[in-house]
Amino acid sequence: MAQARVATAVNLEDKVTAKTTIGLSEPMLGENNWSEFSIDVPWGTVAGKWWGCRNKQPILALHGWQDNCGSFDRLCPLLPSDYAVLAIDLPGHGNSSHYPAGMQYFIFWDGICLIRRIVRKYNWKNVTLLGHSLGGALTFMYAASFPDEVHKLINIDIAGPTVRGVQRMAEGTGKALDKFLDYETLPESKQPCYSYEEMIKLVLDAYDGSVDEQSVKILMKRGMKPNQKGFLFARDLRLKVSLLGLFTAEQTLAYARQIRCKVLNIRGVPGMKFESTQFYAEVIDTLKKQAQHVVYVEVPGTHHLHLVTPERVAPHITQFLLNK
């Protein structure tokens, strides 16, 4: 299996150089080559952005927790023009419908089923999946659940589902359920409202250095909605209850052993801080035992490196896509 590659930092001005250093000179999709896309689902619609040609089966791209498909707005333009990408807003995120009242979000399990729903609806074969953070956990789980139907798996700063110790999950269940019920009954009139400038600063501070101001403005194009007094968050508040349905380390490794497709894993350095610092490497090592081919590359950047510094990420994805 492929060994880790360590990428060096580059500036935006060095895009062409960064591409040629790994032998790439492919035409790119470009920043205006997209249109809105909507998928009918039983609870409403799943919204997204389709990059590139509508006549090609797209790479399906999934964003992270409480982000939206704008997460890929700076990466997709740098990908090869021969490919199409469908970046979706997960349920309750961005412009996608929220779940009906009374329903809970089991964000990992729901997401796997959503991918399956989309694949079956369009009768896609040998799919290629791209995920960041939560989205990468979902694509990982899908590749494990349908190992003969995934061609390539590309994950950014995530190896597999976030794991929790069983004691921590047991101790937090009651609090999570009460929190869910509180959010469910909170009227919009009591939800915090902000000016545009306040919203941008609030989100920038909340991401704690993972994104810059320009990236926040991109995310908030789909991440907030206006009301009479200013702006509210567009995402479903119930998404903030994320503890339910998490995985143990043993479960995640069992799913890793199921994956057979070609894998590209891009780890941000320093990237996200995980509860278990060694588990990321353990998942990658497990993947190498069964998957067709595993490429693991470390790239300087934050957890949102694909959004903040896409020019560092795109060449590795392009090389992986073009390598048959």
The residues carrying an active-site annotation are 133
- Residue 312 phi/psi, 5° resolution? -85, -25
CA pair distance 242, 65, nearest whole angstrom:
9
Specify whether the CB–CB gap between 177 and 153 falls below 8 A.
Answer: no
- Collapsing DSSP states into helix, strand and coil, what is residue 36? strand
Q: Tell the residue number behind the tokens 């891009």, with chain if given.
A: 266
CB 317 within 8 A of CB 79: yes
Give the list of residues 6+ apart from residue 278 with CB closer than 8 angstroms, or none: none
**Number of Cβ within a 10 Å radius of residue 22:** 12
Angle at which helices 196-206 and 213-223 pack, to 10 degrees? 110
Pairwise CA distance, residues 199 & 189, whole Å: 17
Strands in 44-51's sheet, in edge-to-edge order, are 5-6, 293-301, 262-270, 150-156, 127-132, 59-62, 85-88, 44-51, 34-41
Distance spanning both ends of the chain, measured CA to CA:
15
68: burial class by Cβ within 10 Å (0-12, 13-18, 19+)? buried
Q: Specify the amino acid at residue 43.
A: W
Nearest-angstrom CA–CA distance, 134 and 68: 11
